[in-house]
Structure 1
Amino acid sequence: MSLIHPTAIVDPQARIDASVTVGPYAVIGAHVAIGARTTVGAHCVIEGHTTIGEDNQIFQFASLGAQPQDKKYAGEPTRLVIGNRNTIREFCTFNTGTAQDLGVTTIGDDNWIMAYVHIAHDCVVGNQTILANNATLAGHVHVGDHVIIGGLTGVHQFTHVGAHAMAGFASHISQDVPPFVMVDGNPLAVRGLNSEGLRRRGFSAERQAALKQAYRLLYRHGLTLEAALARIVALTGDYPGAAGDIELLHGFVAASRRGIAR
């Protein structure tokens, strides 16, 4: 028995695994590919050059792969790529990329994306993130692994949010958010280290201690950014087990083009 509801409109050129379930009145375009065991809810529209991996659950009324909301867009065959095991709730809108960037919007694996989330053109979302209801990512936003973004939060175009960071409800993010920190508010304020998140993800006592020291250097000691970065690098001597975390934090801050939330 077919797993595609008879009222769904699926272009015959679409590449859909035989185990995919498609609900009533869904519309799937010619350039769409959907992997095994993914479910597509009623009234979803999946169009454009969109590739969706395995074991995703896409709830009703989602719109995936539509043209970017960019006035420069001229019909180029840009893409949307979604990984595996993502939950995409009702009324989410994910757009394809633009020729002015890499031409692809990318969503990783194991993400929990709640209702009405908008992910604009050329965004890169990592793995195991949580985007709460009405979170909005403008174009070219990068979100690292294990990030949590609170409901009704807006992220300005070209802004980066580092891995393991957390943004509270209704925040206005217009500067880069370093890995491991918590922010919230409008205007945005840094509230502390995301200690509870690190503990829940199994960070060792050494890694947590190193990140606490790095946070203090960056935010509490009154140092210039350059001086804080130099002292953060030196922490690897005292906390060798946290060398990867320190490198991640240092590299993110050093590479920031918009400036970090501070």
Structure 2
Amino acid sequence: MISPLAYIHPEAQIGENVEIAPFVFIDKNVVIGNNNKIMSNVSILSGARIGNGNTFFPGAVISAIPQDLKFKGEDTTAEIGDNNLIRENVTINRGTAAKGKTIVGSNNLLMEGVHVAHDALVGSRCIIGNSTKMAGEIVIDDNAIVSAAVLMHQFCHVGSYVMIQGGSRFSKDIPPYIIAGRDPITYSGINIVGLRRHGFSNELIENIHNTYRIIYQSGLNIKDALVKVKEEIPACPEIEYIINFIENSQRGIIK
């Protein structure tokens, strides 16, 4: 299961049933769980904390030091959950003093050439398209779909169940349940197909749709629009999530 042509530092902790192909490099201060498959020319560097059942395709680099000139060699980590597909040439940098760790959850697909920068937080069950680049300290909530070649500005927050058009770039937050597209990027409706696939009821989808009609089409400013949402839309966890997301947005939401 472990090729003699791989290098594994004697202090690295490797779980059971781990496949390690030729020309893999595994550094010290690395912990790898069970049932992982690590293909050729993968580099797993100091600070990596990897769960179970992941597959790393050739050329991936996990837990390299941040591309941040403020980094001074702090003891930080890059933490990856379970059952992720990390495709060719994906790079996941470890954290800085800002948060101390970069996190990728479980059951994600990170396609070829994706970059996850320092202190980013990627949730679970996300699909991230080829060559998408995430700057430092971004947050992507669960079940998001980010298409290919998307550029995400530092500190941006992407909500759950969104779909972001390929080739987009943005520097504001993208609230949950919507489609974001066009150039420059804008609200382009709710992600009806995605919500139905995940079992959202027609009534709930309509309430989400009406919420965004108020936010984006009523002509009200965001503060007044949220007041109107609270008055007119039946309360439920999904609507509260939208409201809290927007109220807590540090960069403002896309138009």
Residue 39 of structure 1 aligns with which residue?
A: 37
Residue 111 of structure 1 aligns with which residue?
A: 108
Partner-residue secondary structure (3-state), 1:65: strand
Give 1:231 shift. 1.7
Q: Is the 8 A contact 1:172 1:185 kept in 2?
A: no
Q: Is the 8 A contact 2:151 2:170 kept in 1?
A: yes
Partner-residue secondary structure (3-state), 1:182: strand
Q: Is the 8 A contact 2:211 2:233 kept in 1?
A: no
Give 1:188 shift. 1.2
Residue 240 of structure 2 aligns with which residue?
A: 247
One-letter amino acid of the structure 2 residue matched with residue 190 of structure 1: Y
| TM-score, normalised via structure 2 length | 0.98
Q: Give unpaired runs (5+ residues) of structure 1.
A: none
One-letter amino acid of the structure 2 residue matched with residue 144 of structure 1: D
Partner-residue secondary structure (3-state), 2:102: strand
Q: Which range moved further: 110-119 or 218-227?
A: 218-227
1:189 matched to 2:189? The reply is no
Q: Is the 8 A contact 2:214 2:228 kept in 1?
A: yes
Partner-residue secondary structure (3-state), 2:63: strand
Aligned mates of 2:75, 2:182 — CA distance in 1: 38
Give 1:236 shift. 4.8
Q: State the superposition RMSD in angstroms.
A: 0.9
Give 1:190 shift. 1.4
One-letter amino acid of the structure 1 residue matched with residue 59 of structure 2: F
Aligned mates of 1:4, 1:141 — CA distance in 2: 35
* Count of paired positions: 255
One-letter amino acid of the structure 2 residue matched with residue 258 of structure 1: R
Residue 15 of structure 1 aligns with which residue?
A: 13
Q: Is the 8 A contact 2:210 2:233 kept in 1?
A: no
| TM-score, normalised via structure 1 length | 0.95
Residue 132 of structure 1 aligns with which residue?
A: 129
1:88-99 counterparts in 2 under 5 A?
88-99=86-97
1:146-225 counterparts in 2 under 5 A?
146-225=143-222
Aligned mates of 1:76, 1:23 — CA distance in 2: 30
One-letter amino acid of the structure 2 residue matched with residue 247 of structure 1: E
Aligned mates of 1:90, 1:185 — CA distance in 2: 28
Q: Deviations over 1:53-105 (max 9, x none)?
A: 00001111100000000001010111100000000000000000110x21100
Q: Is the 8 A contact 1:172 1:184 kept in 2?
A: no
Q: Is the 8 A contact 2:18 2:34 kept in 1?
A: yes
Q: Is the 8 A contact 1:235 1:246 kept in 2?
A: no
Q: Give unpaired runs (5+ residues) of structure 2.
A: none
One-letter amino acid of the structure 1 residue matched with residue 22 of structure 2: P
Partner-residue secondary structure (3-state), 1:250: helix
Residue 68 of structure 2 aligns with which residue?
A: 70
Q: Deviations over 1:109-164 (max 9, x none)?
A: 10011000000000000010000000110000000111111101000000000111
Residue 4 of structure 1 aligns with which residue?
A: 2
Q: Which range moved further: 187-196 or 140-149?
A: 187-196
Q: Which range moved further: 78-87 or 177-186?
A: 177-186
One-letter amino acid of the structure 2 residue matched with residue 54 of structure 1: N
Aligned mates of 1:23, 1:254 — CA distance in 2: 48
